[in-house]
Amino acid sequence: MTFTPSTSVLTRVDGSAQLVLGPIKVVSSVTGPIEGKARQELPTLASLEIIVRPATGVASTREKLLEDKLRSLLQSVIIRHKYPRQLIQIVVQFLTSDSDFSSDVHSKDLTSSELNAAINCCYFALIDANVALHNSFASVSLCLAPGSSDFIVNPTIDQLLHSKSHHVISYDIKDQQADRLLLVESQGSFSEQQLYLAIDEASRECEKVHKSYQRPAIVDKITKDFVWK
């Protein structure tokens, strides 16, 4: 599965990133902290405005659902008390998605792959914008094929469509170790024991994402942004 991040892909925003995760290509931008409207201000915390735009057409309840899930996760990782009465605007634009490669998208909700890509892309955009975070965070998508006890990491569209269950699990990364469980979104048929196994598998996979992709991307960004003499 392809996992290719890049930062500073947009101008006129404070931070941006693009992520290619398999067939999904997503761009995320961060503007802020800026002064928001009076109704958006919080006395002691920064407020978040999350906007998700689909690859084709106009936003629907599908995108609103993604916005709510992203907001619940990002509120817990951004150090919001550092920016009181300010607004942080995060825009997620899908360029391609799983639904572009399947004619059977209505048979199963495929937002899991899009949510996973959006979470990981937002991390790189927040880093690019120098927004203060409690810790790094990473996400992984898993699915369980019928008749199998092994999880498929970052499944393809066909694997998702024929899976027994699929999960998006995100962890807070502290000292290069999965520390705090941030998000669990599961769909399909699965037992309690299978859910625990998925969470355990996701912790190891999130650590791999951090070590294999996040840290090298940050090192590369610092190398390009600063000239050491």
C-alpha–C-alpha distance, residues 21 and 171, integer Å: 18
**Residue with the larger pLDDT of the pair 150 and 181:** 181
Q: Quote the mean pLDDT of the chain.
A: 90
**Percent of the chain residues topping a pLDDT of 70:** 93
The 10s digit of each residue's pLDDT in 21-30 is 988 999 999 9
Q: Is the pLDDT of residue 107 over 50?
A: no
Q: What is the pTM of this model?
A: 0.93
DSSP string across 74-130: HHHHB-GGGSTTEEEEEEEEEEE-GGGG-S-GGGS--HHHHHHHHHHHHHHHHHHTT
Residues pairing with 140 in the sheet = 169
User: Residue 192 is inside which H or E element, if any?
Assistant: helix 192-209
Residue with tokens 């892909």: 9
Of 13, 24, 12, 9, nearest to 55 by C-alpha is 24
How does residue 135 score in pLDDT terms, banded at 50, 70 and 90? Answer: very high
Sheet holding 24-35, edge to edge: 3-7, 15-21, 24-35, 86-96, 47-53
Given this model, what pLDDT does residue 204 score?
96
Q: Is 220 helix (H, G, I), strand (E, B) or coil?
A: helix
Helix or strand holding residue 54 (H, E): none
Confidence category of residue 63, pLDDT binned at 50, 70, 90: very high
**What topology does CATH give the domain 3-225?**
Ribosomal Protein S5; domain 2 (3.30.230)
Q: What is the largest CA-CA distance in the chain?
A: 58
| The predicted structure's pLDDT at residue 228 | 59
113 and 98 Cβ atoms separated by less than 8 Å: yes
**pLDDT tens per residue across span 164-217:** 999 999 999 999 999 999 999 999 999 999 999 999 999 999 999 999 999 999
The enclosing H or E element of 26 equals strand 24-35
Q: Which of 51, 49, 42, 46 is nearest to 33 (CA)?
A: 46
